[in-house]
Structure 1
């Protein structure tokens, strides 16, 4: 089905990267939450429902299935199911890791190697909403694997491209912090200063997935947020 980096901007400032009868893929802005939480802030899932309701003039409730999530300060690709047929299939695709997710991250410190595979054992602390990375397995930890490479050297930062091999809580943030490369703006994982908009420079850049119904490969690119650092990365 090819590759796409086209944005459809809606009246609600929703960036639609792909849509058909079965799924819709959004370029999430940093700061948006995918699903409702204790803050009570309006989640992206509700904004998408409203968009679909208006676009198709649908009466009553609109069906929308949340397939996966991105951390609130992170930007990039989020997939939603538009039908009850597509949701379990998408859930299975993500659960069985039959999806390739590529992220871009901006860090201040140069990584130990130009490219490498990081393997850690992550243990989540729910009270702190934080995951800690360990070199060896400890009780209640989960194995986390990612590949990174330096994509570009900026004036004072480095742009990394990351391929996730597992999908753990705060995996990229925790693993990069473990090699002394916390992501720009990520106070929780050791970056010294926050970004003004409370975002972090982590972006779900590329998604390669087999369509849950058409069984064709779909490749989507999410344009970067607009700020001086991201602008220098493009």
Structure 2
């Protein structure tokens, strides 16, 4: 399935787009069309490029979530942006709708997370890697709570697993204990803000998208 491309930022080295919920970022064994295919087609059409178009994958979002994704258009862009992610020079902010009401208006979650490859799930283990995030409550919405999240590490399913571990799973996230659902198996998580430097290092870029409105059902 193809998705319309919503471009948030583009220069000679990088392109940032909005990933719709349900879209694969990168092709998998199913050979299903992915967001990278759509962005490549967009670049081919825009610049009238014959043949293959280079597009570097720098970071990922889970299939059932939405948000800002940055791809590299050049090897220089891929190298420079990957370095920023590695050094944690990038600011990533998420918004999520979690089940229940949190006891504290803000807090920090630290867990040791490991990954179960077969089930594609993260779990707490002393052999895992440290996962750290901070959150603050934006508002309570009925039986659920809208939270803003800043990630300090980038572990597999990190936000989903950590909120599941405190018994406040993300709405729609049955893998981590949610009792509510969203249409099309969407999970109530969005990468809403991303701050980084251009590949040339001469400009700070701050991108933002609106917080989605989620309508959970039981």
The TM-score, its normalising length taken from structure 2, stands at 0.94
Contact preservation (8 Å) 2:18, 2:69: yes
Deviations 1:64-85 (A, max 9, x none): 1011100000100101001111
Aligned ranges for residues 21-60 of structure 1 at < 5 Å?
Answer: 21-60=12-51
Query: Which of the numbers 82, 88, 94 marks the counterpart of 1:97?
Result: 88
Q: Structure 2 stretches of 5 or more lacking a match? A: none
Q: Distance in 1 between matches of 2:96 and 2:73?
A: 30
Which residue of 168, 181, 184 corresponds with 1:181?
168
Pair 1:221-2:208 in alignment: yes
Shift of 1:206: 0.3
Contact 1:29–1:225 under 8 Å retained in 2: no
2:118 to 127, 136, 153: 127
CA contact (8 A) 2:100 2:144 kept: yes
Q: What is the SS of the residue equivalent to 1:39?
A: coil
Taking only aligned residues, the RMSD between alpha carbons, in angstroms, comes to 1.5
CA contact (8 A) 1:106 1:159 kept: yes
2:156 matches 1:165: no
Q: Measure the CA separation in 2 of the matches of 1:223 and 1:18.
A: 16
Give the match for residue 4 of structure 1: none
TM-score by length of 1: 0.88
Q: Is residue 18 of structure 1 aligned with residue 18 of structure 2?
A: no
- Give 1:19 shift: 1.0
Kindly report which structure 2 residues correspond to 1:181-200, keeping only aligned pairs within 5 A, or say none.
181-200=168-187
CA distance in 2, matches of 1:184, 1:203: 12
Where does residue 153 of structure 1 map in the other structure? 140
d(CA) in 1 for partners of 2:173, 2:48? 41
Q: Is the 8 A contact 2:182 2:214 kept in 1?
A: no
Aligned residues: 215
5+ residue gaps, structure 1, are 1-10, 230-234
Q: Distance in 1 between matches of 2:65 and 2:97?
A: 12
In structure 1, distance between residues paired with 2:50 and 2:180: 47
